[in-house]
Amino acid sequence: MRIVFCGTAGFAVPSLRACADRHRVVAAVTQPDRPGSRGRPASRPVADTARRLGIPVLQPDRIRAAEAIAEVIRFDAEALVVAAYGQILPRTLLEAHPHGGVNVHASLLPRWRGAAPVARAILAGDRVTGVCIMRMEAGLDTGPLYACRQVAIAERTTAPALTEELAVAGAEELVSVLAALERGTARATPQASEGVTLAPRLSREDGLLEWSERSSEEVDRMVRALDPWPGVSAELAGVRLRLLRGCAIAGAVEAPPGTVCTIEGESAVVRAAVGLYRVDQVQPPGRRSMTAAAFLRGRR
């Protein structure tokens, strides 16, 4: 099958490789290069992988622009495969391909429609998530489902680890769906009308932590869910810094939220709105990461 692959983030790479192993990927559409740290371009995992595989790379600013649509259509592909691309494809582009758009989405739809399903699932304390292979419509992740696979969310998992697990599962399900499309046996089932939740794109504000507003369990979910972006910033000993690693622990202390109650080894135990959170690793502004105890020693 001739495929145009649309993706940007690392989540999409296993699906791109799976398509390239079994089909003819005639082009890869990805987001334009953006500035990264220290003036260098931010990484574009799909673009880098496609170039290594010898696949032509397109990086339109707006996929909905007429010239971008025409450029994709000229590859005469049978299907668009989309995973973590970052732009909404127009209906005209979907309808120009016999099998339309086939999307790999990192949640159990209709739960967590949107750009940040993995982080939102961890933030909500979900015990189970998954991947769905969807036939794309003009709406936001509203299309009927070809296949779904459940994946358990481990107690201490982080967004990067869960994303990697879901990426592999999604690629495996995608292979089966594309084979069924070729045979003419693929069937898509409409999504349930109940249980719809949205997973909007993360912003810096999502990572701002006030100890008086969050329980220790909620702090733990934030630190695990918002890694690497936008990260969690909180005040510790009068300095707002980034919390890199820690966990909720048992116990209770009568103290105002945000108080450093005790030092355990190289960790600091902080009172949250409810419960205690052990801060293991932090990053002060403009400095490298360090243990919480090392930071507090410097404050003294």
Confidence label for 44 from pLDDT (cuts 50, 70 and 90): confident
Q: How far is CA 43 from the centre of its chain?
A: 15
Instruction: Give the residue among 205, 197, 176 at the shortest CA–CA distance from 22.
Output: 176
Question: For position 215, what pLDDT does the model report?
Answer: 97
Rounded CA gap, 294 and 57, in Å? 46
In the predicted structure, residue 126 carries a pLDDT above the cut 90: yes
Q: Find the angle CA(263)-CA(243)-CA(253) to the nearest 5 degrees.
A: 40
Q: Which domains does the chain have, with CATH numbers?
A: 2-199 (3.40.50.170), 204-299 (3.10.25.10)
How distant, in Å, are the alpha carbons of 10, 122, 139, 240 from that of 70? 27, 39, 21, 49
How distant, in Å, are the alpha carbons of 33, 41, 113, 210, 256 from that of 251? 48, 46, 37, 20, 15
Which residue bears the tokens 């690693």?
245
The pLDDT tens digits for 61-82 are: 999 999 999 999 999 999 999 9
Rounded CA gap, 298 and 280, in Å? 16
- Give start and end residues of each alpha helix (H) in the chain: 13-22, 45-52, 66-73, 91-95, 117-123, 159-183, 216-225, 292-299
Global pTM?
A: 0.95
In the predicted structure, residue 37 carries a pLDDT above the cut 60: no
In the predicted structure, residue 150 carries a pLDDT above the cut 80: yes
Question: For position 38, what pLDDT does the model report?
Answer: 55
Return the structure tokens found at 141. 């992740």
Question: For position 252, what pLDDT does the model report?
Answer: 85
60 against 42, higher pLDDT: 60
